[in-house]
Every structure is written in structure tokens, then in C-alpha cells.
């Protein structure tokens, strides 16, 4: 089976759902952000501070090309779909699941999170701006859309399994 890519805005649940889905399907899980941090020996925040966003986005593309393309679950950073090359790789290499969450839900989930470099400053304003920019791209890139708003982890995992006909 092709790799399953989980995309979506920061706070949509990609990492959490990815781990649970991996356990359920007994498949390995790779997180693009974690893989970048390992390779660069820096946190995402440090990469943004020292090298900038363009460098980080180049790292994402490189990592996408290096990860397995079969029998894995790959959780992605929230901005990975913004680059045409990345969307092409995702579509060619796997099944893209967009984990949707409402803007209000995202704001609530990220309320106390201070680790996101793109949310520095007025967090609610930044969420609103990025959310509106990215939402159409997530939808366009997705093979399937799963709404995570107000749902528990196991419910979302079951919906993903059902939409992929893996029951």
C-alpha cells in the first residue's frame, strides 16, 4: 500500500492521530518535522531563527523525497502543502488525508502553545491569516478530508480507516 500522508493546519492533530493510526494499522510512523530536527540537529524554532523559513521549506522537500513511499504513515508540517513540488510528491507517493479542524478549534488547541515560529506576535491574527491562505490548498491537495473538530482520537482513526477501506 502507498504511504498515508496526514496534512492539515498546525493543531489539527496530525502527529497525535498519526501515532494512533500507526498503532491501529501496525505501520511505522514518520513525522517530517521530527525527521528534519534529527537531520539538522536543531529544533524547528531554531531552524527558523538561524536559517529562515525558506531553508526549512527546502528541508521539508528533501525529507519528503527520502522517506519510504509504501506501508508507512507520514505526518507532515502544517505548511508542507504550500509548495507545489511538495504537493506533487505527496500525490505521487501516497494517499493524502487532510485533517480539517475549524479555525476556532485550532485557536483553542494552540492557545497555550508557544513553540510555533509562524505564530509569533498576535497569535489569533496569525492563525486567521495562515488558515485562510492554506485552507484551499489543503483541500486541493487532499485525496480525503476528515473533520477532527470536537472528535476524539479513536473516532478520527476509525474514520480514516473507513475512508481507506482498510477495515
> Annotated binding site for ATP: which residue ranges?
11-16, 116
Backbone angles phi, psi at 117, to 5 degrees: -60, -30
Residue 143: name the closest of 119, 160, 123 by CA: 160
| Helices H / strands E in the chain, number of each | 8, 5
In the annotated binding site for substrate, the residues are 33, 57, 78, 134
Residue 7's SS3 state is strand
In the annotated binding site for Mg(2+), the residues are 15
Backbone angles phi, psi at 4, to 5 degrees: -105, 120
Q: Are 103 and 128 in contact (CB under 8 A)?
A: yes
In the annotated binding site, the residues are 11-16, 33, 57, 78, 116, 134
Amino acid at each position: 500500500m502507498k504511504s498515508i500522508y496526514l496534512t492539515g493546519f498546525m493543531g489539527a492533530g496530525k502527529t497525535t492521530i498519526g501515532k494512533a493510526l500507526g498503532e491501529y494499522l501496525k505501520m511505522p510512523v514518520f513525522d517530517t518535522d521530527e525527521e528534519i530536527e534529527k537531520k539538522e540537529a536543531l529544533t524547528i524554532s531554531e531552524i527558523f531563527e538561524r536559517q529562515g523559513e525558506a531553508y526549512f521549506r527546502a528541508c521539508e522537500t528533501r525529507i519528503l523525497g527520502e522517506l519510504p513511499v509504501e506501508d508507512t504513515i507520514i505526518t507532515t508540517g502544517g505548511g508542507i502543502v504550500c509548495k507545489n513540488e511538495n504537493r506533487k510528491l505527496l500525490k505521487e507517493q501516497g494517499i493524502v488525508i487532510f485533517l480539517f479542524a475549524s479555525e476556532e478549534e485550532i485557536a483553542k488547541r494552540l492557545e497555550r502553545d508557544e513553540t510555533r515560529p509562524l505564530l509569533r506576535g498576535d497569535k489569533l491574527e496569525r492563525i486567521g491569516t495562515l488558515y485562510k491562505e492554506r485552507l484551499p490548498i489543503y483541500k486541493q491537495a487532499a485525496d480525503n478530508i476528515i473533520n477532527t473538530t470536537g472528535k476524539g482520537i479513536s473516532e478520527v482513526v476509525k474514520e480514516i480507516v473507513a475512508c481507506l477501506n482498510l477495515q
